[in-house]
Structure 1
Amino acid sequence: MRGLLASSIGVTCAAALALPLTLPASGARAATSGVPSAAGPAGPAAEAIPGTTQSLPLAPLGSDRSLGPTGAQEQGLARRDVRPFSLVGVVWNDPDVDLHGTVQVRTRAVGTTTWSGWQSVETHNHEHAADPGTPERGSGAVRGSTAPLWVGASDGVEIRVRAERPAPTNRTDPARPDTDPARPDTDTARPDTDTALPDTGTGTALPHADTATAPSPTGLLPEGLRLELVDPGDEPPPQGATQVLDAPRTSVVSAESAAASAVNADLAPLDAAAIPELTKRQTEDDLIAARGGPEAVGKARPYVGPRPRIITRKGWGANEKLREKNFAYTKTVKVAFVHHSASGNHYRCSQAGSVLRSIYRYHVKSGGWRDLGYNFAVDKCGNIYEGRAGGVAKPVLGAHTLGFNSNSTGIAVIGSYSTVNPPKAAVKAIARLTAWKLGLYGGNPRGTTYLKSGGGNLHKKGRKVRLRVISGHRDGFRTECPGRRLYQKLGTARSTSARLQGR
């Protein structure tokens, strides 16, 4: 491996970025499935590729029926039979409009007459998106969407969506949701100097500079509400796809980042289901070679953690025909944002691939994104998965933290962790992944750095914001994500990650 890597030193930045990946037959975005009839199974005939999406328009419920969809405060669907699915979500026309209200679904397991109780769907998914002004955000295909909810194999569904009542006019802005009441949350200006805060071993956030932007009006539901039912397609992905070198559509990678990205360019055979782990010494040697060899870097060894085992997109069955053909990159990786998928915890680790395929399909087919939004995913057993395509060692531009996707990477723990503690294996996996990924770009997991905001409800566009190198999603956007319980474990992840780097 290192012989091959060393021979590649000195190649151009563009050549270093051309990682072998499976190239889909078409880069066109797939259209959302057709509208089902009220009678019988919903949706069009099954697609030729594994997985399907059923898209059902919601209708006013109860007394709202006379108002029509644009004036209704409650919409939904009565119980009905549908084709099998495993994940649900709701989308609407305008991605810049939030759904202020509640979404609840209940489902019937395949092969039974048993219906679940009402389950809540996280409505605020606006913060998981491409940055304003980017080609992905401005494609015209992006929709507003809730978080996806994994319900397991089901063939019956009922849903109700209720608008939130308008807040009293004298109501003040609340503190960020889901914060720990035992820990005061200050809202003071950030210091101008990049002084690292002491790591207390908790997930305490840095103080915030800007207040939230004014919320969109409540009391009405967004236009074009549709229920999305996703079947992940548990068949293996298509075989025999051509393996080629695919040049990126957008490349703004610096020379330093290109050297870091060249690490492990020969990660595994092109048809491998997983990238094997390396020892710390092997990882250090590869990074030194990518930076020009011992003569270029001197005697000091880099602070980088051992490369963990990573299940590739092929390993979890990503259908490369769904995503856009080309890749987009940013300059470097300065911050790792930790998320939870908010898709629920009722999955077995053996089902994690199905959950990821469902979220991937939901992001692309239902939400109109170019690919899966997250750069990496972690399941509750601590397995690490490749997310958005473009190369695990490269600075791939994701759509995970609105306003801060540039120069960052997004890691989603599959599950919901607002009231449930994340498994220790998942927290350790975050530490192992960040020790390696941040180490490739010189990041100190215990430190802080600056990112320029691309715009959001917490930090104004253009503001230089000081963030922890390992941050929670809520540090960049006013949101519950990654859930209070997971957020509180980030201090442990930082300490472990730094130790794995040798700091």
Structure 2
Amino acid sequence: MRFISGAIVGAVLATSMTFVSSSAHADDVVAPPADAVAAPTDPVDVSTTTVPAVSQGLSAATADGGDLVAELPARKTDDFGLVGVTWDRGFDATGLLVEVRLRTAGAWGEWQELHVEGDDGSEGGQDGTEPLWVGSADGISVRVTSPTGQRPAGLKVATIDPGTTPAAGQASAPAAAPASSVSPAVYRTSSASAVTVASGATAPMPPIILRSAWGAAPNTSCSSPNVSPGGIKGAVIHHTAGTNTYTAAQSAQIVRATQAYHMKSRKWCDIGYNFLVDKYGQIFEGRNGGIDRAVRAAHSGNAAVNENTMGVSMMGTFSTMAPTQATKDAVTKLVAWRFSLVGLPASGTYSLGGKTLNRIAGHRDVVGTECPGAAAYAWLSAPGGLRDSVAGYTASVATPIAQRVAKLGAGATGALVQAEYPFYTAPGGTKARYKKIDIISSPLGTFSLGDVVRSRYNSLKGQSGALGVPTGIIVTTARSQVRMQRFHHGTIYRVKRKNKKVAAYALYGKVENKYRSLREASGKLGVPTKTQTKISGGRERAYFSKGTLTLQSNGRVTVSVK
């Protein structure tokens, strides 16, 4: 009979690792073969029990002056892999010390602290500690010490058995095996909510293990606002806490157990992090809602920061031991990719939720916590650390469009609307669309188009239309009211006329050639007043403040001056 009553979090949906990679567009990914996903062996099992109060007569003062206010005597349990302690919301947990002692392999270990995980209550649910991954234990003891002698109500300890994750058709790989040997990469089909991320973004998307692969609990719909329309403003780096000794095959168990603790014990709507990264460099999709979207998580303890940053949790404890190189490389590529989608630099600061934070910050920068551990926190800002690595990696893989975006900055480009994609109209190239500008790169150069010039260009079918690709930036002319931008086969003139809105007019082919030969806006025709259009008889005409140009059906251009 179980020591603590069980509660099923949800069946494991799939257990072989499923990756989405930027090597293919979302519509091009293929479904895994029917036998590629191993059936789950066990559901996730969450067991809870009350941590009893210590009677006032038995309460003992500790060395630091606190009082022992609750204690669960040591006892044997069924096997579990993760442990956490929760209590009712509203208690001032400043200075609260929560410790557990575990029995593993038949022997009792030393007391271990479970760090209190502060939050602002925006996620609702229960207050509690960080979860601690223990690998495998079959006994537990808990003690809680309070500096005020007050005990939080509703103290409970949760022990979680995450089930097992056999790789399809093969045994679990040894701990030293690379992630790629643990499970093959298969891809989600577009009909199964494929990720809508185009390849060719500023930094390539690294392989990511989707929720369906690690066995996420279903029906984790979080309340609005679950996606920030403004995109992310930075990243907050965490750790999951617990042993650093786990196999690559066990990583999915850690993620499942963490989700179960967050949902069943903390009473959150889903796992608290946007991404989790193990010591082998495997990246796991966290909270539901889209890996390329600003999904609100519960990772920082600050509502505004939760809504407008990405939370990345490294799996392990890093108080004295630094993350592995595989972890560092994966986190670098992940942050670089997500930042590149919205044009964020790796360095610099921003203000949010009453805090001024580095673009890449540690959890301890937001609330009072040791997370992500001293060694991991030092890596963020060290020379050659995470911030430097993200900047260097982004620069090393940057396309000409990405370089121009970096030069212009997010203020000039606005949020990304469509990631860089190829086009094949001669001379060929790539294009990316942002809220404020479009950027086109071709063998003729990399140039941006904005405001009315962009609108006019796109109304003429853009790079596939009569103008072709841009060959320069917008420049001033001898006439102060006119600016112009050249294209492979024509020009767009941006004209500001008295008492009229700024407008853009396009000329191309023989009509543009003739206008240029007449000194353009400085010549006898004056400034354009209408884009070149088709008229009767197979002709085309352009209108100016002082006359017209007409492309006749025989190919001649005639000039008419008022």
- Residue 221 (str. 1) matches residue 111 (str. 2): no
- Residue 495 (str. 1) matches residue 396 (str. 2): no
In 2, are the aligned partners of 1:395 and 1:407 still within 8 Å (CA)?
A: yes
In structure 2, do the counterparts of structure 1 residues 99 and 484 end up closer, same or farther at CA, with 3 Å as the change threshold?
Answer: same
- Counterpart mapping for 1:70-469 below 5 A: 73-94=68-89, 97-98=92-93, 100-109=95-104, 112=105, 114-127=106-119, 132=121, 134=122, 136-137=123-124, 142-164=125-147, 218-234=148-164, 268-269=188-189, 282-284=199-201, 304-321=202-219, 324=222, 328-331=226-229, 332-403=231-302, 404-451=305-352, 453=353, 463=354, 465-469=355-359
* Alpha-carbon separation, structure 1, partners of 2:372 and 2:116: 12
* Alpha-carbon separation, structure 1, partners of 2:312 and 2:132: 18
Who is 2:373 aligned against?
483
* Alpha-carbon separation, structure 2, partners of 1:270 and 1:362: 31
Question: After the TM superposition, which parts of structure 1 deviate over 4 Å for at least 4 consecutive aligned residues?
Answer: 44-48, 61-67, 270-278, 321-327
Per-residue Cα deviation, 1:309-333 (whole angstroms, up to 9, x for no partner): 1111112111214665988111210
Task: Please report how far the alpha carbon of residue 63 of structure 1 lies from its aligned counterpart in structure 2 after TM superposition.
Answer: 6.3
State TM-score, norm by structure 1: 0.60
Per-residue Cα deviation, 1:41-86 (whole angstroms, up to 9, x for no partner): 221476774111111111234765589xxx9733222222323211
Per-residue Cα deviation, 1:332-381 (whole angstroms, up to 9, x for no partner): 10111111122332322321110111110000100011111110111111
In structure 2, do the counterparts of structure 1 residues 421 and 225 end up closer, same or farther at CA, with 3 Å as the change threshold?
Answer: same
* Alpha-carbon separation, structure 2, partners of 1:96 and 1:343: 25
* Alpha-carbon separation, structure 1, partners of 2:149 and 2:380: 36
Per-residue Cα deviation, 1:1-35 (whole angstroms, up to 9, x for no partner): xxxxxxxxxxxxxxxxxxxxxxxxxxxxxxxxxxx
Aligned amino acid, residue 269 of structure 1? T
* Alpha-carbon separation, structure 1, partners of 2:221 and 2:102: 29
Return 5+ residue gaps in structure 2 as ranges.
12-42, 61-65, 168-186, 396-402, 404-562
Who is 1:193 aligned against?
none
The size of the alignment, in residue pairs, is: 335
* Alpha-carbon separation, structure 2, partners of 1:222 and 1:468: 34
1:60 to 46, 53, 59: 53
In structure 2, do the counterparts of structure 1 residues 162 and 467 end up closer, same or farther at CA, with 3 Å as the change threshold?
Answer: closer
In structure 2, do the counterparts of structure 1 residues 344 and 220 end up closer, same or farther at CA, with 3 Å as the change threshold?
Answer: farther
Return 5+ residue gaps in structure 1 as ranges.
1-38, 165-217, 238-266, 285-303, 454-462
In 2, are the aligned partners of 1:316 and 1:357 still within 8 Å (CA)?
A: yes
In 2, are the aligned partners of 1:59 and 1:75 still within 8 Å (CA)?
A: yes
* Alpha-carbon separation, structure 2, partners of 1:271 and 1:156: 45
* Alpha-carbon separation, structure 1, partners of 2:9 and 2:393: 45
Who is 2:434 aligned against?
none
In structure 2, do the counterparts of structure 1 residues 99 and 268 end up closer, same or farther at CA, with 3 Å as the change threshold?
Answer: same
Q: Give the aligned CA root-mean-square deviation in angstroms.
A: 3.2
Per-residue Cα deviation, 1:376-400 (whole angstroms, up to 9, x for no partner): 1111111111110000001101111
Aligned amino acid, residue 158 of structure 1? S
> Equivalent residue of 2:4, what SS?
coil
In structure 2, do the counterparts of structure 1 residues 495 and 313 end up closer, same or farther at CA, with 3 Å as the change threshold?
Answer: same
Task: Please report how far the alpha carbon of residue 479 of structure 1 lies from its aligned counterpart in structure 2 after TM superposition.
Answer: 2.1
In structure 2, do the counterparts of structure 1 residues 435 and 221 end up closer, same or farther at CA, with 3 Å as the change threshold?
Answer: same
In structure 2, do the counterparts of structure 1 residues 396 and 48 end up closer, same or farther at CA, with 3 Å as the change threshold?
Answer: closer
* Alpha-carbon separation, structure 2, partners of 1:496 and 1:146: 31
* Alpha-carbon separation, structure 1, partners of 2:91 and 2:10: 33
* Alpha-carbon separation, structure 2, partners of 1:274 and 1:158: 45
> Equivalent residue of 2:307, what SS?
coil
> Equivalent residue of 2:200, what SS?
helix
* Alpha-carbon separation, structure 2, partners of 1:338 and 1:493: 10
State TM-score, norm by structure 2: 0.54
> Equivalent residue of 2:258, what SS?
helix
Larger Rg: 2
In structure 2, do the counterparts of structure 1 residues 163 and 66 end up closer, same or farther at CA, with 3 Å as the change threshold?
Answer: closer
Identity over aligned residues, as a percent? 33
In structure 2, do the counterparts of structure 1 residues 371 and 45 end up closer, same or farther at CA, with 3 Å as the change threshold?
Answer: closer
2:5 to 43, 49, 54: 43
Per-residue Cα deviation, 1:195-216 (whole angstroms, up to 9, x for no partner): xxxxxxxxxxxxxxxxxxxxxx
Per-residue Cα deviation, 1:141-166 (whole angstroms, up to 9, x for no partner): x11111111112222222222223xx
Greater alpha carbon shift after TM alignment, 44-53 vs 364-373: 44-53
Who is 2:538 aligned against?
none
In 2, are the aligned partners of 1:65 and 1:72 still within 8 Å (CA)?
A: no
* Alpha-carbon separation, structure 1, partners of 2:7 and 2:277: 33
* Alpha-carbon separation, structure 2, partners of 1:428 and 1:277: 21
